[in-house]
Structure 1
Amino acid sequence: MEGKEAASEKLIRQSQSLCAGEQDYVNRRKRVVLESLNSLEMNCTQDSVPHIALLASGGGQRAAVALVGSVYQMEKEGLLDTVLYLGGVSGSTWSMASLYSDPEWSTNMDRTLSRLSGPGVDLEKALAWLTERAKEEDFSLTDIWGVLTSAGIMKQMDLRRLSDEASRNATNPYPVYSAIEKHWKWFEVSPHEAGFTEMGLFVQTSLLGSKFENGELLEKKPEMDMVKLQGLCVGVCVCCVFSLLTKQVLPLIMKWEWGTTTNFLYQYQDSTVPPCLHSKDKFHLVDAGLLINVAYPSFLGDKRDIDLIIAPEYSAGNMFEVPDYAAELKRPFPEIDNQVLEDRDWPKDCYVFEGKGKEPTIIYMPLFNRQNCEAKMEEFSTFQRPFNQEKINVLVETAKANIRNNKETLLREINKAVLRRQNKRCVCGGIK
């Protein structure tokens, strides 16, 4: 049976530390970050490069479009190359998939921005992709959502595989996509690994979807493309536009399931794996925004050892559901100032939550705020048809303005992150 030669190799990694592939990529990316920090006249060495993550919230097409505006302006302000990681959930993963289709996107944001104004993908091409997926045993709503977001909103059909990025030159921040297993277990996917964050159980991304039993590879299957990966991450967020293609896709729908993929933990013998996971040969992934609408879980604690999180907020809800989650898992998280909760309906454009010890500092930046009150959230609600060009332009310009207006705050906190990393190095006698 295919895969028997690999059976003796330990294919499931159990650890709360980085895999070798991600560590190598991050080390190469740090050289880019170091050069950027030096250009900003920050006193930094290779050993004191801070771990900065840009974590974008969900929010459907609003988040997808606004994230493009945010990273565009960060690049123009010379800030993007200070970022080591880019993490997303739900709508922001649509942008991530689109961004990383260009191996050098972080040095040329104009191409990504122009794609939002492009002609889109022919319906026939999208349906042809669905027709091929319908032949597969795990064809589900995941495929419908993926093609709707890729073709209908991000205006491209990206057929590459995420693991392709593992061998690219590290000119971009390291990407981490997030979803949740339907029993509310956080699931992350990066170019090197996919797996359960809390349990620290991972499999190579190229093997996600292959058949396993008790940790052994029984049958290797082709890795999913980025269209399907977007479907895994977006879950219910695009059900509002489903009606646009109902007549065309309805004959293809064979079973109505969320995010079905083969379970690499099937019959895996380990006490950390709950029965709801190891007893089934498949599991279901849904929109991580249903649990926490920002990818915090993947970036808290020692694994990625984050100093600073830049958190642009594109969602319509409260992104600070996470403190209780972090406390339950004993993960460090800074204290949230009550002021931001009181300001929820009329927020400022930027808040800083200072991290202490192992807690990362968080720069929280609501998209709609009292500084740009002419832009109204209700005009850009999550559940509506794809935005017209006028709405896309407004979102992009609003997101760009938020970065531009808070450049000094970003620079100040980035510099403090450098000092923080230097202090860690002095205390620990070394650094990751």
Structure 2
Amino acid sequence: QVPVVAVVTAAGGVRSMTALFGSLLALQELGVLDCVSYISGLSATTWTMSKLYEDANWSQKNLSGPIDDIRKQVIKSKLHCFSLDHMKYYENKLCERKQEGHKVSFTDLWGLFIDCMLHHQESTHKLSDQQLAVNQGQNPLPIYLSLNVKDDFSTLDFKEWVEFTPYEVGLLKYGAFVRSEDFGSEFFMGRRMKKIPESHICFLEGTWSNIFSQSFMDAVYLSGHSEHFWHRWTRDTEHDIENYPALPQKPHEQTTCLSIPKGYLSKTLREMMTGRPVVSTYHNFLKGLQLHNKYLENESFCMWKDTVLDSSPNQLNEMSDYLKLIDTAFFINTSCPPVLRPERKVDVILHLNYSGGSQTLPLDLFSEYCLEHGIPFPSTELSQEDREHLKECYVFEDSLEAPILAYFPLVCDTFQKYKAPNVERSPAEMEQGRVDVSNCAAPYGTGLLTYTEENFNKLLNLCSYNILNNKHSILQALRTAVERKK
């Protein structure tokens, strides 16, 4: 009868990294952190997770230590990361990585910069090292999320969820995984052909938070504008020429279509609109595998299929030499997908939103995504009044098949008046309650890598307070989940 609880996050640069520390600190204080089975992250929240999981017993200890350490890193200048000594260090590491057999890209340099930015000295931790932090069940299982994409296709047209855990890395759609220590090695037909050393986790952090991977079409989608106008340029034209099939069709059979590739001008425009400045490239462990001829009837495949190529098996990922990985936030800013895998049986989701701009857009986009794909997820309708004046927490629980969702937008509401639940601020403390999280530019803009100590503490305290002040909502969600399981 113990409910399975998952914490999921949203991206937002150093803002999201800092905010997650505050939220976890509050969950620990409430005694809820010890009940959490999964923590999933994307983009910069993976920096927080990677930092914490360097300690095999982090959730059993006071988090003030890691927070003090990360505070020192955030408030200091990042100019030292561009010193001549560091540049030589980056060059040596990239050359070493290339010699090992990895495909080197700019995201590897970005990963080294992140490592320099967040650590006093070089970190040699690897993803598989985090097994020591979960092998006794002492911490939640960390799940890191990325997207696999294809050249010349927008993220909306082709994307595949890729999850990383200390034990395995795999694509949800195919149900295919390899051991985390083997990710990056060369495979063919399911056999490892060449062992390549496991990447240090800083290189994976560069992949998970690749801010350089946004295409023009991604920007159109995230801005809320219709992408249908651009599809006439970014998709080939197809005509169904089998209106009256002579034989009865089976569910896995496809109708015969005439595909007309675009001309030179359209092809050039397509490359411009779907091109990504930088992607992370890894050897494809699916290479050489063949899909069963009834793959479209597979429940797991159908749950996660959402690309224009899903009905063309010879164009799916088992034919590619490489995986092309990007930041998930450029599609939907949430790390929810992996915790919705049916086998994980998650009962309660604590969704911590740290995105800039609209606090409801990630929730709206993912709710729509789940509805289109038949993934059990509660209805997340909000009134216009709520959208204009967001509260600190919303609980959605309309379906017994879907998990209970507690959604925490990044807002500064009652924190302006209270420094702790039911503890009002004195006139001298009112300034500490003014936290401007609604401004996309400053002081917590996604592109900012350095905060003042005051702004760091304000954001940390705000996110901690928003959890503590909604203790009743969290506990009620857990009680409801227990009642459901009886």
TM-score normalised according to structure 1 size? 0.77
Task: Provide the residue aligned with 2:117 in structure 1.
Answer: 152
Specify the alignment match of 1:128 in structure 2: 89
1:308 has 2:356 as partner: no
| Counterpart residue identity of residue 106, structure 1 | S
Tell whether 2:157 aligns with 1:206. no
The whole-number CA distance in structure 2 between the counterparts of 1:414 and 1:274 is: 45
Superimposed CA distance per residue, residues 163-191 of structure 1 (whole angstroms, 9 cap, x where no aligned partner): 12224432111100001012311110001
Asked whether the equivalents of residues 130 and 143 of structure 1 are also in contact (C-alpha less than 8 Å), the reply is no
Which of 155, 161, 166 is 2:126 aligned to?
Answer: 161
State which of 453, 468, 471 in structure 2 corresponds to 1:407.
Answer: 471
Q: Over aligned residue pairs, what C-alpha RMSD do you find?
A: 2.4
Q: Partners in 2 of 1:179 and 1:206 — Cα distance? A: 17
Residues 145, 238 of structure 1: 8 Å contact kept: no
Query: In the alignment, what sits opposite 1:190?
Result: 165
Identity %: 29
- What's the CA shift for 1:350? 0.5
The residue type paired with residue 390 of structure 2 is: P
Q: Tell me the residue number matched to 2:286.
A: 265
Residues 278 and 399 (structure 1 numbering): CA distance in 2 closer, same or farther, change over 3 Å?
same
Number of the residue aligned with 1:289? 329
Structure 1, unaligned stretches of length 5 or more? 1-47, 240-255, 424-432
Q: Contact (CA 8 Å) 2:351, 2:406: kept in 1 or not?
A: yes
Contact preservation (8 Å) 1:91, 1:237: no
Residues 98-121 of structure 1 deviation map (CA, whole Å, 9 limit, x = unaligned): 111111111221221111123579
- Residue 453 (structure 2) pairs with residue 389 (structure 1): yes
Q: Which residue of 2 aligns with 1:418?
A: 482
Worse overlay, 293-302 or 185-194: 293-302
Residue 322 of structure 1: which of 331, 344, 366 is its match? Answer: 366
Larger radius of gyration: 2
Q: Is 1:171 the equivalent of 2:146?
A: no
C-alpha displacement of 1:126: 7.4
Q: CA deviation at 1:276?
A: 4.2
How has the CA–CA distance of structure 1 residues 196 and 342 changed in structure 2, closer, same or farther, with 3 Å as cutoff? Answer: farther
Structure 1 Cα separation of the partners of residues 317 and 372 of structure 2: 20
Distance 1:210 1:411, change over 3 A: same
Pairwise mapping of residues 45-194 of structure 1 onto structure 2 (< 5 A)?
A: 48-108=1-61, 109-118=63-72, 123=81, 124=85, 128-135=89-96, 136=98, 137-153=102-118, 157-167=122-132, 168-182=135-149, 183-194=158-169
Q: After TM superposition, list the pairs within 5 Å mapping 1:212-251 onto structure 2.
A: 212-236=187-211
Of residues 278, 290, 315 in structure 2, which corresponds to 1:275?
Answer: 315
The whole-number CA distance in structure 2 between the counterparts of 1:142 and 1:418 is 44
Structure 2 spans left out of the alignment, 5+ residues: 150-157, 215-276, 296-312, 417-433
**1:375–1:165 Cα change, 3 Å:** same
Superposition deviation, residue 149 in structure 1: 2.5
Amino acid at match of 1:349: E
CA distance change for structure 1 residues 98 and 351 in 2, over 3 Å: closer, same or farther? same
Which residue identity lines up with residue 211 of structure 1 in the other structure? Answer: E
Q: Verify the 8 A CA contact 2:212 2:278 in the aligned structure 1.
A: no
Measure how far apart 1:281 and its partner are: 1.3
**Which whole-Å CA distance do the structure 2 matches of 1:177 and 1:143 have between them?**
17
Q: Cα 1:274–1:344, aligned 2, differ >3 Å: closer, same or farther?
A: farther
Shift in alpha-carbon separation, 1:205–1:111, aligned structure 2, 3 A = same
Question: Does 2:338 align with 1:298?
Answer: yes
Deviation larger for 212-221 or 164-173:
164-173
Q: Distance in 2 between matches of 1:344 and 1:274?
A: 44
Question: Separation in 1 of the partners of 2:29 and 2:328?
Answer: 30
Q: Following the alignment from structure 2 to structure 1, what is the Cα–Cα distance between the partners of residues 472 and 121?
A: 35
Aligned counterpart, 1:37: none
With over 3 angstroms needed to count, the CA separation of the structure-2 counterparts of 1:128 and 1:113, relative to structure 1, is same
8 Å CA contact 2:392, 2:409 repeated in 1: yes
* 1:303 match: secondary structure: helix
Once the 2 structures are TM-superposed, how far is the Cα of residue 335 of structure 1 from its aligned partner? Answer: 0.5
Q: Deviations over 1:11-53 (max 9, x none)?
A: xxxxxxxxxxxxxxxxxxxxxxxxxxxxxxxxxxxxx221100
Residue 336 of structure 1 pairs with residue 380 of structure 2? yes
Pair 184,409 (structure 1): closer, same or farther in 2 beyond 3 Å: same
Separation of aligned partners in 2, 1:315 and 1:154: 24
SS state of the match for residue 199, structure 1? Answer: coil
User: What SS does the aligned partner of 1:94 have?
Assistant: helix
| 1:205 alignment partner AA | S
Deviates more, 1:181-190 or 1:141-150: 141-150
Contact kept, 8 Å, 2:213 with 2:279, in 1: the verdict is no
| Residues 385, 345 of structure 1: alpha-carbon distance in 2 compared, 3 angstrom cutoff | farther
Q: What is the deviation of 1:158? A: 3.0
Letter in 1 for 2:176: L
1:301/1:187 Cα in 2 relative to 1: closer, same or farther (>3 Å)?
A: closer
Q: Is the 8 A contact 1:126 1:151 kept in 2?
A: no
Shift of 1:371: 2.6
Contact 1:294 1:319 (C-alpha < 8 Å) held by counterparts: yes
**Shift in CA distance, 55/156, structure 1 to aligned 2, threshold 3 Å:** farther
Task: Go from structure 1 to structure 2 and tell me whether the alpha carbon gap of 1:156 and 1:353 turns closer, same or farther (over 3 Å shift).
Answer: farther
Q: Give the superposition deviation at 1:342.
A: 5.2
SS at match of 1:187: strand
CA distance in 2, matches of 1:270, 1:160: 35
Deviation at 1:346, TM superposition (A): 2.9
- Cα-to-partner distance string for 1:260-305 (whole Å, 9 max, x where unaligned): 1111011221145662422221111100111221111111141211
Contact 2:281-2:325 within 8 A present in 1 as well:
yes
CA distance in 1, matches of 2:453, 2:444: 13
Shift of 1:89: 1.0
Aligned partner of 1:6 in structure 2 is none
Amino acid at match of 1:268: L
- Aligned mates of 2:178, 2:91 — CA distance in 1: 27
Are the equivalent residues in 2 in contact too, given 1:52–1:83 (CA < 8 A)? yes
Say whether the 8 Å CA contact 1:237–1:383 is kept in structure 2: no
The change in CA–CA distance for 1:103 and 1:125 in structure 2 (over 3 A counts) is farther
Q: What's the TM-score, normalizing by structure 2?
A: 0.69
